[in-house]
């Protein structure tokens, strides 16, 4: 339902980027103004988003506990799945953010004749998600070679690692292959699984296709139709030193890549992609389950109408007396 | 079982294919057997809640207040500012679908709007329309939609088709908690008087009398005395149950079903034997006569209004600390809300077991411990004289109740007790227990008979796991530590997996306890003959 | 709320990390100027147009390598000229300095081509035959 509009939108963006790269009058605008504006929107947007979340208090301590609580000393406490201390929470969050712990639990429920419900391991989503996010990080860090001069050692080391097998020239980076495969899997899953397709919105397809466009244009430039990367780096360094230049040698394909990136950056804070900062703030994960040991304070805790003992005694006085139960007020 | 409910083999014909039509434009159908009736106006009036009126969900006109949309949107705005969880959970879902087949209602009904992701999207679509830039500018592209009466009806249907069990939250990569979303959605529905009687009537009863069932002080006392008499018949031991005794060490609070419903009642017998066995200086109260809190299924404010009496009564009776009985959502409230809402409990002392001397540091602030924590500690220290063979007629499994499992992590204590009081204990499959446990399908105020079909559907995953251990190990008793479970699992198991009964953990404790001065026991607390005496005394021949 | 300082700290850390390249370049005094390359010591034109060579010289070199090493073909005709397919003899005949030509851009773009795993910078070979032999890469058959 939403697939086609998303695809068309991304293709239009690609076309716009390419056209901008070919039209002299637009090159500076799309090569300098748009990316800088996008970065500003991204940074401002993320900060706004996070501050807005921070502005709402966490009135109650509501961790989802996924293991044994810390109670009696001789019972084995699940320190990471049900942390009781700040360190435990740190561990839980690290597992969550770095390894997608919760998604790793994923199962698939199937109803067989009998009836018999069968739950099987379902790790593909976890694997694809993890592969995508980690390769994205590596690809992002590798790109720092365009933005930083001299190129820092850790970027070179990362490149070496990523291109360890030295296949082809330029060397094949595994992160580039993995991110493409992972994205294609995530898209295919959305399209093929009837349930996931049913819940998918325009934005779900748009984000995936935008990323696919970004990745494909990058792979295209690296491995197929080569571009002048010295010119690309000049452009990149120009952007980041806030003295933008758009060398004539910068290919229109670079504009496609850059424009898709700009759209992604600007779209990021206003879409579901804010799950990146959001995951850190999730109160079911980032709070220790020490509820009964340490009081959590709700800043807007307000007095409510209650039925006090005195009112209760007054209301049921006859019955209390008849039952021979003690009264406070004779 | 009502006439209208299909047979199990019919009910299990579940079509998981989603409709062709986009979910945003598929209005809800109120089909009998799958929803709860509206709250009676007298209850709303008593509680001073908005828009009391005669209406039913299947009516065309819900008699909403004229400015209902403004009320809801204002309510949303207010809650977005008060609950970070709400704003965050509205913003960060990526619709990965990991939660989809984790919901018992989805597994049992195949209705895509029972996938937790879509249940929350019902609310998110409205959030995006009125509270996000993208949704205001381009509603279609942002997945936003107007708040209409149809949307409100959909909210009512599906947010009263979620038992707030949190199973989906375990699997969500961002920890999005549908229980939290449902709680807030119900608060919004309550603002315009769209609530269900099965939740509101207990709330009204509880506010007035102190307990959900509306048992008044004399009824409370009669119940307790009846139990004491019955225990004397069964064991020959007369226990003493002090009611509202000032200066007792412990105030014991249990769900009202324990003293007024079956099979809960046998759990009460177990508690009373246990306390007598260890000589606990305790008291129970006819005022704080409810551990459960249907306010949790209504609004945060109502949680606080109802829960107030626990600390209030503890203070009045000058006890040192509290022990709470077997109840699921009661423990969610005690563990995650009570101290914050009704505390600080600085007039109480850190719980210390008078029998073992164990200091329950993990309850140092709230000053309330779970009966299973208390009992497990007693057993560990060898303070209980137990004859587990008295439970030999039971092949036992344990159903983790949602809230103690996923809002607390009380997993091992009941298991430790069970292994010590019974000799035949079998776990259900691992995807259906502990933090992955399945709801009974009737929690959060949905356990009413007009909703029976939905309850049976929602209970399918649990019942199916019970069937597995029944067929494989001959399990004939499901134990649990939740009053709603004890009320709603018996009909569920009768329907899906006949031959399995339901009991509280402390019922088995009561069976196994060898009391000082007891007469030879020939029956369990239910009055059923014990397995060990079934073959007449030939063993010593 | 007690967690707000932490959130703020996290946000600042994130913004600091993500803008790190800005501060880094600032500190290094980096500008968008391109690296200065050694001018070709002879000849007016390269074997292919400069734009093409800037972007795709690695394709040419890979092609040449395959022809020489795998097909034992040494000569290539481009336009009406014939060239010896050799990095060190042909390319570096005009672009004589590895350091001032090849390395400039490669370092700038963070590229580490593995040409020099086998090939040796001709500038280093001028020392004589002994050194030439010593510098011969292990297993490298076509040092020329």
pLDDT tens for residues B304-344? 999 999 999 999 999 999 999 999 999 999 999 999 999 99
Q: How far apart are CA A290 and CA A288, in angstroms?
A: 5
pLDDT tens for residues A74-83? 999 999 999 9
Using a CB-CB cut-off of 8 Å, the residues of chain C touching A249 are: 51, 54
Closest residue of C to A283, CA-based? C3
pLDDT tens for residues B171-200? 999 999 999 999 999 999 999 999 999 999
Cβ–Cβ below 8 Å for A147 and C30:
no
Using a CB-CB cut-off of 8 Å, the residues of chain A touching C33 are: 234
Burial call B427-463: b when 16+ CB within 10 Å, e when fewer: ebeebbbbbbbbbbbbbbbbbbebbbbbbbbbbbbbb
pLDDT tens series, chain A, 330 aa: 799 999 999 999 999 999 999 999 999 999 999 999 999 999 999 999 999 999 999 999 999 999 999 999 999 999 999 999 999 999 999 999 999 999 999 999 999 998 999 999 999 999 999 999 999 999 999 999 999 999 999 999 999 999 988 888 788 999 999 999 999 999 999 999 999 999 999 999 999 999 999 999 999 999 999 999 999 999 999 999 999 999 999 999 999 999 999 999 999 999 999 999 999 999 999 999 999 999 999 999 999 999 999 999 999 999 999 999 999 987
Q: Is residue B471 pLDDT above 60, yes or no?
A: yes
User: Which of A159, A238, A245 is closest, CB to CB, to C110?
Assistant: A159
Using a CB-CB cut-off of 8 Å, the residues of chain A touching B341 are: 298, 301
Q: In angstroms, what separates the C-alpha of A58 from chain B's closest C-alpha?
A: 5
Residue C137, pLDDT score = 44
Cβ–Cβ below 8 Å for B92 and A204:
no
Using a CB-CB cut-off of 8 Å, the residues of chain A touching C24 are: 148, 152
Ordered by start, the domain boundaries in chain A are 3-323
Beta bridge partners of B251: B283, B322
| ipTM value for the complex | 0.95
Residue B114, pLDDT score = 97
Residue A236, pLDDT score = 96
Cβ–Cβ below 8 Å for C21 and A57:
no
Burial class (CB in 10 A: 0-12, 13-18, 19+), C61: middle
Nearest Cα residue to B205 out of B262, B265, B257: B257
Burial call B64-95: b when 16+ CB within 10 Å, e when fewer: beeebbebbbebbeebbebbbbbbbbbbbbbb
User: Which of A53, A245, A280 is closest, CB to CB, to C32?
Assistant: A245
**pLDDT band at residue C143 using 50, 70 and 90 as cut-offs:** very low
Using a CB-CB cut-off of 8 Å, the residues of chain A touching B177 are: 62, 64, 284
Cβ–Cβ below 8 Å for C62 and A169:
yes
User: What is the residue whose two structure tokens read 């699984």?
Assistant: A193
Q: What is the dihedral of CA A204, A206, A208, A211, to 10 degrees?
A: -150
Residue C1, pLDDT score = 55
A-C interface: how many C-beta pairs under 8 angstroms?
Answer: 110
CB A234 within 8 A of CB C34: yes
Nearest Cα residue to C101 out of C33, C52, C54: C54
Sorted by sequence, the CB contacts under 8 Å of residue A12 that are 6+ apart come out as: none
Closest residue of A to B49, CA-based? A305
Closest residue of C to A221, CA-based? C55
Q: How far apart are CA B459 and CA B492, in angstroms?
A: 7
What is A25-53 written as a DSSP string?
HHHHIIIIIHHHHHHHHHHHHHHHHHHHH
Instruction: Check CB contact of A44 with chain B, cutoff 8 Å.
Output: no
**pLDDT band at residue C130 using 50, 70 and 90 as cut-offs:** very low
Q: In angstroms, what separates the C-alpha of A71 from chain B's closest C-alpha?
A: 6
Residue A168, pLDDT score = 80
Q: Is residue B34 pLDDT above 60, yes or no?
A: yes
Which chains are adjacent to chain B, needing at least 3 Cβ pairs under 8 Å?
A
Percent of chain C with pLDDT over 70: 86
pLDDT tens for residues A216-270? 999 999 999 999 999 999 999 999 999 999 999 999 999 999 999 999 999 999 9
With vertex at residue C75, the alpha carbon angle to CA C72 and CA C76, rounded to the nearest 5 degrees, is 120
Lowest-confidence segment of B12-16, B142-146, B386-390, C117-121 by average pLDDT: C117-121
Residue C136, pLDDT score = 45
Residue C42, pLDDT score = 86
Residue C135, pLDDT score = 45
> What does the pLDDT average to over B357-385?
98
Q: Is residue C131 pLDDT above 50, yes or no?
A: no
Residue C127, pLDDT score = 57
pLDDT tens for residues B11-22? 999 999 999 899
Residue A208, pLDDT score = 97
Question: To the nearest whole number, what is the mean pLDDT of chain B?
Answer: 95
Cβ–Cβ below 8 Å for A309 and B312:
yes
CATH superfamily, domain at A3-323:
Transmembrane di-heme cytochromes, Chain C (1.20.950.20)
Residue C141, pLDDT score = 45
Residue C115 vs residue B189, higher pLDDT: B189
Residue C144, pLDDT score = 43
H-type alpha helices, B284-389: 300-317, 328-333, 339-342, 371-380
**pLDDT band at residue C67 using 50, 70 and 90 as cut-offs:** very high
């Amino acid at each position: 339902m939403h697939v086609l509009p998303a695809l068309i939108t991304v293709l239009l963006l690609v076309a716009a980027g390419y056209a901008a790269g070919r039209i002299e009058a637009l090159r500076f605008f799309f090569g300098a103004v748009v990316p800088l504006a996008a970065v500003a929107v991204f940074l401002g947007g993320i900060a706004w988003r996070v501050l807005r979340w921070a502005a709402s208090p966490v009135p109650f301590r509501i961790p989802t506990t996924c293991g044994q609580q810390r109670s009696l000393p001789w019972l084995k406490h699940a320190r990471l799945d049900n942390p009781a201390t700040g360190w435990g929470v740190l561990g839980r969050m690290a597992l969550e953010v770095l390894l997608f712990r919760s998604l790793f639990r994923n199962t698939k429920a199937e109803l067989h004749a009998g009836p018999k419900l069968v739950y099987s391991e379902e790790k593909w989503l976890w694997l694809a998600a993890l592969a995508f996010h980690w390769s994205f990080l590596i690809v992002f860090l590798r790109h720092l070679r365009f933005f930083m001069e001299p190129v820092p050692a850790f970027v070179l080391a990362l490149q070496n690692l990523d291109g360890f097998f030295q296949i082809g020239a330029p060397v094949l980076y595994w992160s580039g292959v993995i991110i493409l495969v992972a994205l294609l899997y995530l898209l295919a899953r959305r399209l093929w699984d009837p349930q996931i397709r049913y819940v998918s919105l325009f934005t779900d397809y748009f984000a995936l296709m935008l990323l696919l466009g970004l990745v494909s244009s990058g792979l295209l430039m690296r491995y197929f139709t080569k571009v002048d990367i010295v010119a690309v780096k000049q452009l990149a360094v120009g952007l980041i030193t806030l003295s933008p230049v758009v060398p004539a040698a910068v290919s229109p394909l670079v504009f496609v890549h850059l424009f898709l990136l700009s759209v992604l950056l600007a779209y990021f804070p206003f879409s579901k992609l804010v799950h990146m900062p959001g995951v850190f703030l999730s109160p079911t994960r980032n709070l220790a389950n020490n509820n009964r040991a340490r009081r959590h304070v709700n800043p807007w805790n307000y007095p409510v109408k209650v039925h006090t003992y005195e009112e209760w005694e007054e209301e049921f006085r006859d019955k209390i007396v008849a039952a021979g139960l003690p009264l406070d007020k004779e | 079982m009502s006439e209208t409910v299909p047979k199990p083999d019919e009910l299990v014909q579940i079509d998981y294919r989603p409709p062709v039509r986009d979910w945003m434009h598929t209005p809800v159908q109120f089909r009998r057997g799958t929803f709860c009736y509206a709250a009676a106006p007298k209850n709303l009036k008593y509680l001073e809640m908005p828009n009391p009126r005669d209406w039913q969900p299947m009516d065309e006109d819900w008699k909403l207040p004229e400015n209902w949309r403004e009320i809801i949107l204002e309510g949303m705005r207010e809650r977005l500012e008060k609950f970070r969880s709400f704003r965050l959970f509205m913003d960060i879902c990526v619709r990965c679908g990991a939660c989809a087949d984790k919901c018992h209602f989805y597994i049992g009904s195949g209705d895509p709007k029972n996938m937790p992701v879509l249940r929350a999207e019902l609310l998110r679509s409205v959030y995006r329309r009125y509270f996000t830039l993208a949704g205001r500018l381009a509603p279609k592209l942002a997945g936003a939609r107007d708040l209409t009466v149809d949307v409100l009806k959909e909210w009512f249907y599906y947010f009263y088709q979620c038992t707030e069990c949190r199973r989906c939250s375990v699997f969500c990569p961002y920890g999005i908690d549908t229980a939290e979303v449902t709680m807030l959605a119900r608060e919004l529905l309550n603002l315009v008087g769209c609530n269900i009687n099965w939740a509101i009537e207990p709330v009204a009863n509880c506010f007035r009398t102190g307990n959900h069932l509306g048992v008044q002080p004399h009824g409370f006392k009669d119940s307790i005395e009846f139990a004491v008499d019955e225990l004397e018949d069964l064991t020959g031991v007369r226990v003493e149950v002090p009611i509202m005794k000032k200066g007792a060490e412990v105030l014991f609070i249990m769900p009202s079903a324990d003293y007024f419903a079956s099979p809960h009642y046998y759990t009460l017998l177990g508690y009373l034997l246990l306390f007598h066995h260890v000589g606990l200086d305790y008291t129970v109260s006819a005022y704080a006569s409810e551990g459960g809190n249907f306010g949790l299924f209504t609004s945060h404010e109502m949680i606080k209004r109802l829960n107030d009496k626990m600390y209030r009564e503890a203070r009045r009776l000058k006890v040192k600390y509290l022990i709470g009985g077997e109840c699921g959502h009661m423990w969610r409230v005690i563990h995650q809300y009570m101290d914050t809402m009704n505390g600080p409990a600085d007039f109480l002392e850190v719980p210390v077991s008078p029998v073992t001397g164990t200091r329950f540091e993990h309850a140092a602030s709230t000053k309330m411990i779970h009966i299973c924590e208390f009992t497990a500690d007693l057993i560990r220290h060898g303070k209980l004289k137990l004859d587990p063979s008295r439970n030999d007629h039971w092949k036992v499994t344990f159903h983790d109740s949602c809230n103690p499992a996923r809002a607390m992590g009380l997993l091992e204590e009941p298991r430790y007790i069970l292994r010590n009081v019974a000799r035949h204990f079998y776990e259900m499959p691992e995807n259906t227990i502990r933090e992955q446990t399945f709801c009974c399908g009737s929690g959060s105020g949905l356990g009413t008979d007009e909703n029976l079909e939905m309850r049976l559907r929602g209970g399918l995953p649990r019942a199916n796991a019970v069937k597995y251990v029944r067929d494989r190990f001959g399990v004939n008793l499901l134990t649990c530590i939740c009053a709603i479970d004890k009320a709603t699992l018996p009909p569920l198991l009768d329907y899906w997996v006949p031959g399995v009964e339901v009991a509280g953990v402390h019922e088995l404790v009561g069976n196994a306890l060898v009391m000082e001065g007891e007469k030879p026991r020939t029956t369990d607390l239910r009055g059923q003959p014990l397995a060990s005496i079934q073959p007449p005394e030939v063993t010593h021949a | 709320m007690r967690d707000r300082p932490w959130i703020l700290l996290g946000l600042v850390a994130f913004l600091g990390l993500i803008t790190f390249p800005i501060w880094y370049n600032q500190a290094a005094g980096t500008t968008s100027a391109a690296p200065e390359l050694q001018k070709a010591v002879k000849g007016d034109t390269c074997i292919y147009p400069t734009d093409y060579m800037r972007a795709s010289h690695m394709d040419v070199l890979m092609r040449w390598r395959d022809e020489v090493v795998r097909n034992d073909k040494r000569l290539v005709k481009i336009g009406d000229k014939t060239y010896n397919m050799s990095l060190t003899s042909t390319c570096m005949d005009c672009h004589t300095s590895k350091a001032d030509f090849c390395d400039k851009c490669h370092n700038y773009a963070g590229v580490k081509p593995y040409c020099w795993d086998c090939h040796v910078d001709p500038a280093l070979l001028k020392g004589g035959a002994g050194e030439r032999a010593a510098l011969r890469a292990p297993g490298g058959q076509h040092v020329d």
